[in-house]
Amino acid sequence: MTIVGIRCDAGARTGVGHLVRCVALAEELVARGAGVRFLSDLGGVEWATAQLTQRGLPWHPPPFDPVGFVAAVERLEIDAVVIDSYTLPPQHSVAVRKTGRPVLAIVDGDFRGQTADIYVDQNLDAVIDDPEAVGLAGLDYALLRGSVRQLRPLSPPVGSSARTPKVVAFFGGTDAYRAAPQIARLLARTGVPFDATIIGANEELRAELAQVAAGPGQRFDIIPPTDDLPKLLAGADLAVSASGTSTWELLCLGLPSALVWVVDNQIIGYDRTIARGYAAGLGQLGHLGDDSVTTLRSLLTDAGRRTELAARAWAAVDGRGVERVTDALLERVTAR
């Protein structure tokens, strides 16, 4: 049996995006009969730990240096390594490749010094220029969990004006930049009816969200992070989220979305997604004003606009990226 080691982390400031897309890849590997071993620091984030334990995916503390990394790879009888990290020193991937084991690096534009046999950049309009490696770039390689893929509709959803719009707002497993309360206040300022489920990543955020006053016809349901998020999204008329790895899940579901960008590495993906008409843009978190309110009001009241966004989004991501990446990785292992 092929065993794949996955080196990624999660945390209150790091977020859970790296882990989520690696879990998606792990699901597909296990479905193909491979074994998976996570080497991860999960930062004490209970939701992150649950993603592995619920799926029966074993994880081990991450090694501190390249020597320890190679030792762990050999002890766990790992045949190939997946690296998804903005902070892991490049010497780790170099050391593993010297043993003859293939390395797949998941990147977001910048390789950050990592060397690999296969690079995966799942971002819109991504380009990988390395003649000595396999480059898998673009939305065809978006790594989506099975809980999302199985809810992809057979055709783009059609917006309905016959009911109060259902909104789902979420900002990752930790919401490190406290986006949820800002978005709740923007929604309230639209002055139009909605039924919004907003995920508060911790008790402090949920307490702040509870203080946001809803207007006539408006309702807020504040909940903690949940594994039922894909189902909530599949039943929504509009999603509000940060521009990040979750964007590709929203597109796959054909869900009309309004995005904000939170940190600098989200700007390019945000701009490209909005320019293609795959989602509506609200701007930079912390600088959301009247224009953002106007955009949300339009999305809540114009079912036709939501239908247009849904059609473009649905056509952009087919949900099979994880299959294509797994094909390439297992092919490289077999060749070795």
Range list of β-strands (E), the chain: 3-8, 35-39, 59-60, 80-84, 103-106, 118-121, 134-137, 166-170, 194-199, 218-223, 238-242, 257-261, 280-284
pLDDT of residue 15: 78
Do 169 and 7 meet the contact criterion of CB atoms below 8 Å apart? no
DSSP state of 234: H
Q: Is 220 helix (H, G, I), strand (E, B) or coil?
A: strand
pLDDT of residue 305: 97
What residues are paired with 196 via a beta bridge?
167, 220
- Tens-place pLDDT, residues 49-89: 999 999 999 999 999 899 999 999 999 999 999 999 988 99
Q: Residue 103 — very low, low, confident or very high, per pLDDT cuts 50/70/90? A: very high
pLDDT of residue 73: 96
pTM: 0.91
Nearest Cα residue to 187 out of 335, 288, 67, 55:
288
Sign of torsion over alpha carbons 325, 120, 246, 291: negative
Q: How far apart are CA 70 and CA 96, in angstroms?
A: 6
Q: How far apart are CA 238 and CA 202, in angstroms?
A: 23
Q: How far apart are CA 198 and CA 299, in angstroms?
A: 17
Q: Residue 306 — very low, low, confident or very high, per pLDDT cuts 50/70/90? A: very high
Least confident range of 148-162, 244-258, 274-288: 148-162
Mean pLDDT of 15-28: 93
Do 237 and 166 meet the contact criterion of CB atoms below 8 Å apart? yes
The token pair that represents 300 in the structure block: 């809540």
The token pair that represents 332 in the structure block: 């490289």
Domains, the chain, in order of start with CATH, read 3-144+320-335 (3.40.50.11190), 148-316 (3.40.50.2000)
Mean pLDDT of 111-116: 90
